[in-house]
A = this chain, B = another copy of it.
Amino acid sequence: MVSSISSTCSLNLLPKPTSCSLAVADPNSNPRKTQFIKNNLIPQSNLHQNNHNEPDHHSYSSDDGIESDVSDSQPIRKLKPSTQLKRWSRARSIRSGRRFNIPLQITSTESINTTTSDVNFQNDRNSISSSSTSSSIAEKSDSEDEMMEGKSIYMVSDGTGWTAEHSVGAALGQFEHCLVDRNCAVNTHLFSGIDDVERLMEIIKQAAKEGAMVVYTLADPAMAESAKQACDVWGIQSTDILSPITVAIAAHIGVSPSGIPRGAPGHHVPLSDDYFKRIEAIEFTIKQDDGALPQNLHKADIVLTGVSRTGKTPLSMYLAQKGYKVANVPIVMGIELPKTLFQVDQRKVFGLTINPVNLQTIRKTRAKTLGFGDTMTGNYSEMDHVRQELEIAGKIFAQNPTWPVIEVTGKAIEETAAVLLRLYHDRKQKCSMPRISKRY
Bound CA–CA A166/B369 (angstroms): 33
Bound CA–CA A410/B274 (angstroms): 14
Determine whether the beta carbon of A418 is less than 8 Å from that of B186: no
Distance (whole angstroms) from the CB of A49 to the closest CB of chain B: 16
* CB of A58 closer than 8 Å to a CB of B: yes
Which residues in chain A, 166-218, are within 8 Å of chain B measured between CB atoms?
166-168, 170-180, 184-193, 199, 202-203, 206, 213, 215, 217
Q: Could you say which residues of chain B place their CB within 8 Å of the CB of A170?
A: 159, 162-163, 217, 242, 245, 262
Determine whether the beta carbon of A168 is less than 8 Å from that of B283: no
* CB of A380 closer than 8 Å to a CB of B: no
Bound CA–CA A345/B24 (angstroms): 14
* CB of A239 closer than 8 Å to a CB of B: yes
Distance (whole angstroms) from the CB of A86 to the closest CB of chain B: 14
With A251-B237, A430-B20 known as contacts, the answer to whether A159 contacts B418 (CB < 8 A) is yes
Bound CA–CA A88/B274 (angstroms): 27
Which residues in chain A, 75-112, are within 8 Å of chain B measured between CB atoms?
76, 78, 93, 96-101
* CB of A335 closer than 8 Å to a CB of B: no
Interface centre among A172, A415, A433, A438, by most chain B C-beta atoms within 10 angstroms, is A438
Residues 269-297 of A, flagged 1 when their CB comes within 8 A of B and 0 if not, give 11111111011101100100100000000
Choose from B17, B163, B278 the contact partner of A314 (Cβ within 8 Å).
Answer: B278
* CB of A361 closer than 8 Å to a CB of B: yes
Bound CA–CA A241/B160 (angstroms): 19
Q: Could you say which residues of chain B place their CB within 8 Å of the CB of A245?
A: 167-168, 170-171, 215, 239, 241
Q: Could you say which residues of chain B place their CB within 8 Å of the CB of A190?
A: 435-438
Distance (whole angstroms) from the CB of A6 to the closest CB of chain B: 23
Determine whether the beta carbon of B178 is less than 8 Å from that of A255: yes
Q: Could you say which residues of chain B place their CB within 8 Å of the CB of A65?
A: none
Determine whether the beta carbon of B273 is less than 8 Å from that of A101: yes
* CB of A387 closer than 8 Å to a CB of B: no
Distance (whole angstroms) from the CB of A169 to the closest CB of chain B: 8
Task: Return the chain B residue nearest A24 by Cβ.
Answer: B428
Determine whether the beta carbon of B162 is less than 8 Å from that of A369: no
With A20-B432, A263-B411, A358-B271 known as contacts, the answer to whether A171 contacts B251 (CB < 8 A) is no
* CB of A43 closer than 8 Å to a CB of B: no
Bound CA–CA A259/B173 (angstroms): 10
Q: Could you say which residues of chain B place their CB within 8 Å of the CB of A179?
A: 440
With A173-B262, A239-B244, A418-B160 known as contacts, the answer to whether A412 contacts B269 (CB < 8 A) is yes
* CB of A254 closer than 8 Å to a CB of B: yes
* CB of A136 closer than 8 Å to a CB of B: no
Determine whether the beta carbon of B34 is less than 8 Å from that of A430: yes
Bound CA–CA A153/B347 (angstroms): 28
* CB of A138 closer than 8 Å to a CB of B: no
Bound CA–CA A422/B193 (angstroms): 9
Determine whether the beta carbon of B429 is less than 8 Å from that of A24: yes
Choose from B153, B283, B422 the contact partner of A249 (Cβ within 8 Å).
Answer: B153
Bound CA–CA A435/B98 (angstroms): 12
Task: Using A17-B432, A184-B253 as known contacts, list a sample of 19 further A-B pairs with CB atoms less than 8 Å apart, ordered by residue number in A.
Answer: A18-B433, A21-B429, A23-B430, A97-B428, A100-B439, A151-B252, A159-B415, A159-B418, A166-B166, A167-B242, A170-B242, A174-B249, A177-B258, A180-B270, A191-B433, A279-B311, A280-B369, A282-B317, A286-B313
Q: Name 15 A/B residue pairs within 8 A (Cβ), A-sorted.
A: A22-B437, A167-B245, A171-B242, A171-B245, A171-B257, A190-B436, A213-B252, A239-B244, A239-B248, A267-B410, A271-B358, A279-B311, A282-B314, A317-B317, A317-B321
